[in-house]
Structure formats: C-alpha cells, structure tokens
Amino acid sequence: MRASKSRVLHRSLRETPPKAIGGEGVWLIAEDGRRILDASGGAAVSCLGHQHPRVLEAMSRQASKLAYAHTAFFSSEPAEALADKLVGHEPGGLAYAYLVSGGSEAVEAGIKLARQYFIEIGQPQRRHFIARRQSYHGNTLGALAAGGNAWRREPYAPLLSSAFSHVTPAFAYHEKRDGESETDFVSRLAAELEEEFQRLGPENVAAFIAEPVVGATAGCVPAPEGYFRAVREICDSYGALVIFDEVMCGMGRTGTLHAWEQEGIAPDIQAIAKGLGGGYQPIGAMLASGRIVDAVRDGSGAFQHGHTYLAHPMACAAALEVQRVIDAEQLLDRVKKLGSQLERRLTERFGNHRHIGDIRGRGLFQAIELVADRPTRAPFDPALKLHQRVKAIAFEGGLGCYPAGGTVDGRSGDHVLLAPPYIATSDNIDMIVDRLGQAV
Ligand code: PMP
C-alpha cells in the first residue's frame, strides 16, 4: 500500500491498493509482477478464476452483436437463456428470474416483490421483515436496513427502515449455550422467532430473510440441522414468505447449486449474485416463485422496480457461459471434493492452534475464527483489527484471503474467509493452507 494520489475514491481514503493488471486461472497479477493466489475469489466471486477462455469468447461474441438495449423496449437472447437456465430445473418452485446488477439490488428487489405481493393479495399490512443479527444483505440503504451488522449500520441508522427487526442467528459457536444440545438450541431459536412473530403481530409480517450460510459478517456459518425446516414451518403457519440471500454462499459455492438444497426446504424468493457472473460482469438476480409472480401479474400487472442496467445483455451472456462451464466441467463435484480437502487441511493446520477457535463452512466456503482465548472464545481487542492484519500479511506472502470482523451485535470477532475458484487444483488448496498458516 502507498499514500494515495489516486482520484479514485477507494474503500480506504488513506491508501491506494496496488493495481491488478492481469489474471490467469487462480492467480491475480499485481503491477509489480507479483502473483497472488486468489484464495477467496475476491469476495467469493471468481468461481471460474480469471480469464476463462470460454467466458471471454462468449463475451466477445455478445459484444460483437449487441452490448446494450434498454429493457423498456427489448428483451435479449442471453437474458432469456440465462433465466431459463436459472429457474428451469428448480425443485422448489422458483420460476422467474429478475436480472439486476449485483447482490444489494437483488436483495432489495426481493424485499419489494414480497411487499408488493401482499398488497396485491389484499394484505397490505404485511410490511414487516424479520432478519437476523450478524447478517449482511448489502450496502444500499434498503439492504443495509435488512442486515444486522451494527458497525455498518450505525453511521446511517437514521436513514434505515424500521420495517426490519433482528433475531438471534443460528451461530452455534457463539450462541449455543454450554451443555445445550443442538436440538435444544434449534428449539430455542424457533421459540424466539415465534415470539418475534407474536410481538409484531403475525398478520403484519411479510417475510423472514436470512443467508443459509452466513458470509461476510460471521465467516461461513452454516445453521444446525433442522433450523431452516423450523423457520419454514413457522413462516408457513403465519403465511409469511421465506427469502434466502445466497449472494455469497450460492451458485455452487457450498457444493450444491443453491446452499438451501442442503437444508431440505426451499425459499419463496432468493437473491443471487457474485458467483452467478463469476466476476466477468456485474450481475445479480432475484428468483421468485410462480405463486408470487402470478399474483402480481394478475393484480397490478407490473413490478414497481426498475434499473437502467436490468438484464444487461453482456452481463447475461457472461453469466450464462459461467453457468454452462460449471455444468460442462462438473465443477460442483469438484467443489465437494476440494471443499473436503480444504476443511481437512485447515483442521490439520489449525485444529490445535491456541488462537483459532473455530474452523467452519461448507464446500469451498470455509473460514477460521481467531480468538484471544480458546476456552472462553473471547475475541481479541477489536482495535487490533487482526483479521485485517492477517489479510495484509497473507497478501505480502502471495495469498489473497477475505477478512471479516469488526463489532457485530456488540460482539467483536476476527474471521478469515476462503472461497477459492472451483477450478483450483488439489495443490492450490494445499498452498492456500500453507500460506494462510504462515500469515497466522
Ligand atoms: N448479500 C450478501 C450475503 C453478501 O455477501 C453481499 C456482498 N458481500 C451482498 C448481499 C451485497 O452484494 P453486492 O455487494 O453485489 O451489492
């Protein structure tokens, strides 16, 4: 990092990161020629790594035909084909895809569609959403209101909607009490959700929104067995919808196309992004069940939501090819295999480390949690920003990993996330763990 002379408004206003000038498979190349092993795919984005020839070719083909046509006038071949691909084989009844430019837009589209659905079916009072603390749903104001991440929310709090409340997340490492069984933990969370419905008045709740595997706020946290089935049951009993945010954990990252497939239930609405386009183009999507879209179609007939770059043909062409490559190269099998290897190697390396409290995740979505004291799970002083330091040291050592932390819900934490490209090799996985080990 060097002092900023850049006119780009970077995340850090004090430092300009080095320029990335190239990419090759799992490697990113910095301006000084250094090769960085992209162990987090940026932020779980680059599922096919960099410069995949088939995706470049598809983008080039589309660019030579048509880069952009506004959706008020036209659909496009890649948009139609991508939507067919995304919802064509859904067992859970997701029947339509609303194609946007990223994760926050997809989440907000889902929230708005849920709200509009209830207006159309004569339940306009359903305007409340239940989310979870220690969650992240995006950084635009609506998506930020949904998330439970206190330090991100704080500066903007007066601008955020009060239509969201937050319950305890299914985060066993911190929330399960000593001696409590997993089943009792799930029952306690379900009872809390019930209480929240009662507090709000069940007839006022539109939806419950959650990440099936929590990403950036807590570091790859899957829910205990049965939790999402209990959530689905409660929502069904009160006529509320279930919205899953799979922006980070979706599109194959956990070993199944959707992370919820491993939970035995399906959502009514889902947000996807990141791995959808693999970073080749900015794209996200809101997937919705036929029941919801049909009600809106039969009602007002229009979804009151639109962006200039909806269903951008270049973005759709890139995403379509990314998904075709994942199918053709059977990469989900590879995610499962490499994911097991990554988990095993992390456990070998950090299982007895006195400052690694937890190793968790699914598939190629794994994290370690740094703690000051393992027996009590006490965190390090948040002022140390250890997750950022590990990231910086790892980067110096040629490894790109994703730091997560800060104070969430009054609790601080330091997590390092790994989300390597699905095309990684077994040797790449070993190298990731070795380099992370050195950094830690
Ligand atoms: N939801 C989740 C779970 C995410 O991880 C993110 C991005 N980290 C978002 C929503 C927002 O996506 P975007 O940054 O593309 O707006």
CA of residue 33 to ligand 1 center, whole Å: 30
Based on the fold, state whether residues 281 and 302 are members of the same structural domain. yes
Whether 136 lines ligand 1, by a CB cut-off of 6 Å, is yes
Give average pLDDT by consecutive 10-residue segment, the chain, 440 residues: 74 91 98 97 98 98 97 97 85 86 98 97 98 95 93 90 95 95 98 98 98 94 98 98 98 98 96 98 97 93 91 98 98 98 98 96 97 94 94 97 80 91 98 98
Based on the fold, state whether residues 156 and 259 are members of the same structural domain. yes
CA of residue 64 to ligand 1 center, whole Å: 31
Based on the fold, state whether residues 41 and 64 are members of the same structural domain. no
Based on the fold, state whether residues 322 and 406 are members of the same structural domain. no
**Domain total in the chain:** 2
Based on the fold, state whether residues 85 and 139 are members of the same structural domain. yes
Based on the fold, state whether residues 144 and 215 are members of the same structural domain. yes
Give the model's pLDDT for residue 92: 52
Measured from the Cα of 274, ligand 1's closest atom is: 15
Q: Which of 302, 328, 354 is the last residue of a domain?
A: 328
CA of residue 346 to ligand 1 center, whole Å: 26
Whether 42 lines ligand 1, by a CB cut-off of 6 Å, is no
Based on the fold, state whether residues 142 and 182 are members of the same structural domain. yes
Whether 247 lines ligand 1, by a CB cut-off of 6 Å, is yes
Give the model's pLDDT for residue 91: 47
Rg (CA), the chain: 21
Angle between helices 331-350 and 313-328 (to 10 degrees): 80
Based on the fold, state whether residues 203 and 322 are members of the same structural domain. yes
Whether 137 lines ligand 1, by a CB cut-off of 6 Å, is yes
CA of residue 299 to ligand 1 center, whole Å: 31
Q: Which of 328, 344, 360 is the last residue of a domain?
A: 328
Q: Quote the domain boundaries for residue 361.
A: 2-52+330-439
Probe ligand 1: pick from 213, 274, 286, 402, max atoms within 8 Å of CB? 274
- CA–CA separation, 326 and 235 (whole Å): 33
CA of residue 102 to ligand 1 center, whole Å: 7
Distance, C-alpha 101 to centroid of its chain: 15
Measured from the Cα of 138, ligand 1's closest atom is: 11
Give the model's pLDDT for residue 410: 64
Whether 148 lines ligand 1, by a CB cut-off of 6 Å, is no
Model's pTM, two decimal places? 0.97
Measured from the Cα of 102, ligand 1's closest atom is: 15
User: ipTM value of the model?
Assistant: 0.99
Query: Which residues, 6 or more positions from 140, have their beta carbon under 8 angstroms from its beta carbon?
Result: 104, 105, 108
CA of residue 375 to ligand 1 center, whole Å: 33
Probe ligand 1: pick from 136, 149, 246, max atoms within 8 Å of CB? 136
